[in-house]
Amino acid sequence: MQGDRYTVKSQEALERAQRLAREHGHQELNPEHLLVALLHETDGTVAALLSKLGAARETLLARAEEEMTKLPRVQGGDRYLGERLRKVLDQAEATATSTSAWSTCWPPSRRRRTPARRRRCSPRRG
């Protein structure tokens, strides 16, 4: 996992997930660890988003912690990024990359639309 591809906040969340895995004796770092780490943050982006959606963070946290305790425990050995979490991070990166391309186009600006900008900001046709 290349940490330089993630924001500081993302790196911190992944570090908290690793700590949770270590504390619970889990060798494989899974999406459940990251979810619990994100839900533990009471003043972060996830908490604010859940609040706006009207979702109970505490209920989600309890369910995520329950799922995390079902993961296999291992004595010793190095921690490693599990395949399921790797897929989650890859998908998040792909979404962020495609979204950032549109962020330079939306909202429509008053800047002159150059040919390069038109290509970048026009919907692709299949």
Q: Domain holding 34: CATH number?
A: 1.10.1780.10
Task: Give the residue numbers spanning the domain of 50.
Answer: 3-104+113-121
Per-residue pLDDT at 103 exceeds 60: no
Q: pLDDT digit string (tens) for 68-83?
A: 999 999 887 889 999 9
CA distance 66 to 60: 10
Look at residue 80 and tell me if it is in a domain. yes
pLDDT range class, residue 2, cuts 50, 70, 90: low
CA distances 30 to 88, 89, 103, 117, Å, are 9, 11, 30, 40
Look at residue 47 and tell me if it is in a domain. yes
Per-residue pLDDT at 88 exceeds 60: yes
Look at residue 126 and tell me if it is in a domain. no
Q: pLDDT digit string (tens) for 41-76?
A: 998 899 999 999 999 999 999 999 999 999 999 887
Q: What is the pLDDT of residue 126?
A: 44
Per-residue pLDDT at 1 exceeds 60: no
Look at residue 67 and tell me if it is in a domain. yes
Q: Across all residues in the chain, what is the average pLDDT?
A: 84
Q: What is the pLDDT of residue 123?
A: 56
Total domains, the chain: 1
Look at residue 79 and tell me if it is in a domain. yes
